[in-house]
Every structure is written in structure tokens, then in C-alpha cells.
Amino acid sequence: MDINTKKLKKNAFRVTKERGLTASRVRVPGGHMDAKYLSTLQEIAEKYGNGTVHITVRQGFEIPGIKYEDMPQVNLLLQPIIEGLEINQPDKNEGYSASGTRNIVACVGNRVCPYGCYDTSGFAARIEKAVFPHDLHFKIALTGCPNDCAKVRMHDFGILGMTLPQYNKDRCVSCMACVKACKKKSVGALTMVNGKVVRNHEKCIGCGECAIQCPTRAWTRSNEKYYRLTLLGRTGKKNPRLAEDFIKWVDEESITKIIVNTYAYVEEYIDKDAPLRKEHIGYIVDRTGFEEYKKWALKDVTLSEVAEVSKTMYWKGISYL
Amino acid sequence: MGYILNQDRMQVILNELQKDYIIYAPQNKVGEGMYSDTDVVRYERIQQIMDVEFHKKSNYSFKEVLLPISQTLFYYTENEVKEAEVERKKGAIIFLRSCDLHAVKRLDEMYLKNGFEDYYYKRLRDNVKFVVMGCENSFENCFCVSMGSNIPENYDIAIEERDGLYYVDCKDDEINALFEMSDEQKEAVTIHFVQTNDITVSIPENLSIDVIKSKMWDEYSSRCINCGRCNFVCPTCTCFTMQDVFYTDNGKVGERRRVHASCMVDGYTEVAGGGSYRKTNGERMRFKVLHKVYDYKKRNGYHMCVGCGRCDDVCPEYISFSNCVNKLEGAMEEITNHE
């Protein structure tokens, strides 16, 4: 058997512990897809795999027990999924074309969840279009609200949905629903003054709890969608750490540009000896300094007036080095 | 008189009306719903006929036009008091549905005929014309037929919008003159009003105050979150509370407001000295339901509830008022058998 393992990894297969057998890794950007593709996965697993499917931690499906020689047939069967999920693919019928940049993960977002501040899977799909296929090691995750069910602070780029609450005092009846909810479930940014509510903008995290709780539509959501962008969280052997805040009240277009800009920065500064050109971005930023990264990241980015950018950033985390 | 108009010609009539009237109608407010990317239909001052939402039930009722949610009554400073300017000096034309027109009668009963005329209600109630919007089909949760409010009475105009055409039945001489002035052809027009709803409600003949002893109210203590949405959307809930506030930067100046109140929300029954009644949400539900279908009728001879079903539409806990009313019969049996 003569198999180019470097090549198959880029094709979203993996070398498994069982000699002669591989596993196909099916990415689902934003974690949402038409149910019809499940029957394709079943077909692959039963025809070429061992009849099981592993649901991955990054919202994909890993189909184990596939013989290396069956990879082309599996890629053919994957084609409708790749097309259906609108994944950028340079060569038709050749399967997934990269695997370095990991699947973009999203919580269910406002397609289903009452707390979701935006369509997480939709935004994930738009980032997908802008960055894939790519083999640099980037992890991007989106979550609908500051509850962060998607654990985006464990990623290089964490995107948390926010809404800028709009207050119509003429519709307010001083029922206290927003003030109580903000205090108990969120950060306590609201206070009642003379029967009307005052919002502390510095404290407000844009969770939208006030807009949900308000029984009279005195509180509503902003037309514009806003986000908190967090940077350079990571897992890993050496120095796992949680992401820190980069920009609060940032817009979608700026986030996409910052991510794309970061690819150029990494191309420039990645450790030339990194195994498989795989190095967490955080280690690179540690080398160059945050200022240099910020310069690259914000190139040609025009932030709106409401956006608040962190002047500098420090990461904590556990170091085993 | 009946007329059929396209949008442009209808707008001409509306423009004429706006010389003397402010037009209020349900409007679909995009993105202003409770959840992200959801809409809400509520009342707004409108200038364009295309801004009127004809095809959805409004989530909030017309009552906000006659009873502002938060209304400054007067300002005070040291020894002087100045009455607040009236919200509108022109007349008003209000688009509403048959159930809501029946609700106007309830508001009038409470604010004009309940011993004395409420000054602030009266000045917004005077010089109002009502445009009743037809209901080709019943909406979800409607039970107007059971409450006898499906057919409108004493309206000025009835209107329906179908495929870009406005079907108008005008009973008001002043407005008929406008249609004639713009050379509109008279047509035979029928405005539809529903004859059946999916939901029917029956209020037991033998309903008595003993029903408060029933166990049926208990479940609402755990289910209800006392947010008050059912009251705020109700076209016949009229409770308000008073707020005297002193401006924070000058404690000698302030204003008195009246704002909508809800018998479901904490604080409603608080009295001087710290007393509070109906502490559990089940008790509050009981009070509200019996007010709508029992004690109001004892005083006025007809039920307060008009069956619009907005309370059911809005409840985030999926509590159904109509289903609660339909439990009253069983509750009466429970009480009778127990005794």
C-alpha cells in the first residue's frame, strides 16, 4: 500500500490507529444543514465505513473504518453535501480541499434560540466563503449571545452576538421586568430613575435580555447587529488560555476583514519550522507583540463610532512550559 | 356608500383626511418583536395607507391612542401647576377591528359613564372616527363570536384590502363628501366579518363568586411569570397607576404621570403601610379572569372580554385565557360537588 498521508490529511481524511483504515471528516459550517444529507452520511458509513458515525466536537461527522482505497468513492458520495453546504471547492468530486482551518462552529443562534441576537449559521457561512479553503490553523466560532454556549473564547476568533438596546420611554410602565432580569441574569446595567430606565452603556453587554423581558416594547433591539470579537483563545499542550476582548460593538464586515487580514499576518510571521505549518496564532502574536498584530488586523478596517477597541491585550492561561 | 379604490386613490382620500385628523393604525414594526429578527404589530400614527397592516392581528391594541401608556398630566413647581399639552389637537381616525370597536364601548363605560367623566380620556376620545377593518378569516386564538363582538356597530368606515384594492363602506357623511369630491364611483361593497372562530368559549350560566374556591387557579401560580403582557395587550384593560416624580437636577420641579398598570405585575395591590394582596400568580390570574367574564358583567350587564385573544397570542408561557375560561364550568361542578 502506497498512501501519501500528507495529501490525505488535506483532503479531510485522517490516519487512524488501525492500519489500512481511514476516517472521512465531513465539515458542516455553522452546524446547520438540511436533514437530507444525513442519509448520505449513513450510506457512506454503511457502504465504506464500519457502520458508525462520530459527531465531532467541531460540528462535523467523522465516518471511521474506511479503506484508504475507497477514498475516491467516498469523495464522490460527499459531493452533494459539499455543494449543498456551499463549500468552496477548487476541484469537483475531489472531496474537501483543505483541513487546516477548522470548521467554523456556531450555536443554533436566532434561527431557533430566543436569546440569539443574530443568525449564527448564516454569518458562519459568510466567513466560510471568505476564508476557505485554507490550510493555516485557524479556529473560528460564533455564538448568538453573551451566554456563549458555543464556548467561543476557546477559539482564535470568538464572535458573540450583541444588540444595542433601544428605549422608548413613552412605552415604559416601570414594571421593573428589565431591571430585575438585567440584575439577576445579566450584568445589572439598568436602573430605574423617576419611573424610567437608565442604561449604563459601559456596563451593558448587549445580551438583549431587556428587549426579551419588556412587556410593552419599550425596549427593542437595534436594527444593526453588533458583536463582541474576542481573540486568541486556545486549547493545547503548552499554554491553554481563554480569549480576551478585542472589539466591543463591532460589525460583521469588520470582523470578516480582520479574520482575512490575520491570514496575511500569519503567512508573514509563522514559525518556518512549525510542524505541518501548524502554529496557534497566539504564539505568533506572543513573538511579534500585540501592536504588530493589531496593525495587520485592522488594515483597511473602518470601524463604526460605537466600536470600542482594546488599547492593548494581555492573555492569562495555564502554562506548562 | 361603497367604493373600491386602488392604493393611489385611497392615499388621496387619506391625504384629505389628514388635514383635520391624525390617523392611527396598526403597523408592522420590523425587528421590534420580543426576539431577534421578529416583528411586532402595534399602533402608530401613519401617513401612508401602505403603512397600515391589514393582514395580521395587531399584537398591541388601539387603546394606546385613547389611553397613552405613559401620560404626563401636569407639571408642578413650588406653588404653581401647569397642565400638560394635550397629545393631539386635531381629531383622530383610528383603524381597528370589530372586537376592538366593541372594546371602545367598554373603555367609554369605564372612563365616561362610571360616575364622572375622566378629563384626560375625554379630551382624547372626543372627535374620533373609527375605521373598522374587515376580518375575512379568524386569526389564531380569536374567540370574538363567543363574546358577541364579531360584528361591528356604530363605525364610520368599514374597510378591507384585497390584492392592492381597498374596499370601503362609508357611513360618515363628512367622509362620503370627500369620496364624492374625488369623483369615486359608488359600488356595492361587502366588508367581511367572521361568523365562526376555531376557538369557542363558554361561560357557565351558574358562575358565581364561589369559583374562587376551586383548585383550578393553583396551576397558574407555577406557570405564570406575572409579566403582565396579557394586560398590556388587552383592549379592555384600563388600569393605571400614578407617578409623582421630581426631576433629579431640581427637586422642586416635577410632573405627575399616569401609566398603564397590570393586575398581574408585582406592586399592583400594594397599599399604604406595606400591605399587599393576591400574592400568588394563581390569585392574580383568578382576579383577572373573573373581572373579564364575571364581575364586570354584574355591574354593566355584558362581559368585559371581547375575545380578541391577544392575551393568548402574547403569553410567553403559553397560558391560554380562553382555555382558562372554559375550565370555569368544571370548577363550578367541583365547588358544587364539594359542598
Q: Indicate the average pLDDT of chain A.
A: 96
Q: Which residues of B touch A (CB under 8 A)?
A: 29, 31-32, 34-37, 40, 42, 60, 68-70, 227-229, 232, 243, 245-248, 257, 259-262, 265-267
Backbone torsions φ then ψ of B264, nearest 5 degrees: -95, -20
- Give the HSE-up count for residue B276: Cα atoms under 13 Å, Cβ half-sphere: 13
Do residues A144 and A110 touch, judged by C-beta distance below 8 A? yes
pLDDT in tens, B184-216: 888 889 999 999 999 999 999 999 999 999 999
pLDDT in tens, B67-79: 999 999 999 999 9
Distance of alpha carbon A56 from its chain centroid, rounded?
15
Taking the C-alpha atoms of residue A79 and residue A243, their distance in angstroms, rounded to an integer, is 35
Mutate to test the interface with B, among A113, A143, A173 (most CBs of B within 10 A): A173
The partner residue sitting opposite B243, judged by closest CB among A174, A176, A220, is A174
Please name which of B149, B115, B161, B142 lies closest in space to residue B57, comparing C-alpha atoms.
B142
DSSP states of B138-178: PPTT--HHHHT-SS--S-SEEEEEETTEEEEEE--HHHHHH
pLDDT at A125: 96
Long-range contacts, stretch B311-316, CB < 8 angstroms, 24+ apart: B311/B229, B311/B230, B311/B231, B311/B233, B311/B234, B312/B141, B313/B57, B313/B59, B313/B140, B313/B141, B313/B233, B314/B59, B314/B229, B314/B230, B314/B233, B315/B229, B315/B230, B316/B34, B316/B225, B316/B227, B316/B229
Do residues B303 and B202 touch, judged by C-beta distance below 8 A? no
Q: How confident is the model at residue A54 (pLDDT cuts 50, 70, 90)?
A: very high
The verdict on a CB contact (< 8 Å) between B248 and A114 is no
B-chain CB neighbours of A214 within 8 Å are 34
Angle at A160 between CA A154 and CA A161, to 5 degrees: 165
CA torsion A224-A228-A231-A234 (nearest 10°) is -120
Q: How many cross-chain Cβ pairs, A to B, lie less than 8 Å apart?
A: 80
The verdict on a CB contact (< 8 Å) between B246 and A194 is yes
Mean pLDDT, rounded, for A211-219? 98
Nearest CA distance, A10 vs chain B (angstrom): 38
Pick the CATH number of A166-220 from 3.40.50.720, 3.30.420.40, 3.30.70.20, 3.30.479.10: 3.30.70.20
Q: Quick check: B131 pLDDT over 70?
A: yes
A166-220 shares the fold of A5-84 = yes
CATH class of A105-162+225-309: alpha beta
pLDDT at B339: 61
Domains of chain B, by residue range, sit at 2-69+87-187
Domains of chain A, by residue range, sit at 5-84, 105-162+225-309, 166-220
Q: Model's pTM, two decimal places?
A: 0.94
Taking the C-alpha atoms of residue A164 and residue A204, their distance in angstroms, rounded to an integer, is 9
Do residues A74 and A8 touch, judged by C-beta distance below 8 A? no
Mean pLDDT, rounded, for A201-221? 98
* CA diameter of chain B: 70
Q: How confident is the model at residue B97 (pLDDT cuts 50, 70, 90)?
A: very high
pLDDT at A150: 97
Determine what percent of chain B is predicted with pLDDT higher than 90: 93
Pick the CATH number of A5-84 from 1.10.3720.10, 3.30.70.3340, 3.40.50.460, 3.30.70.2190: 3.30.70.3340
Please name which of B319, B298, B302, B291 lies closest in space to residue B212, comparing C-alpha atoms.
B291
Q: Quick check: A45 pLDDT over 70?
A: yes
The beta-strand segments (E) located in A9-90 are: 13-15, 21-27, 54-55, 60-67
pLDDT at A122: 97
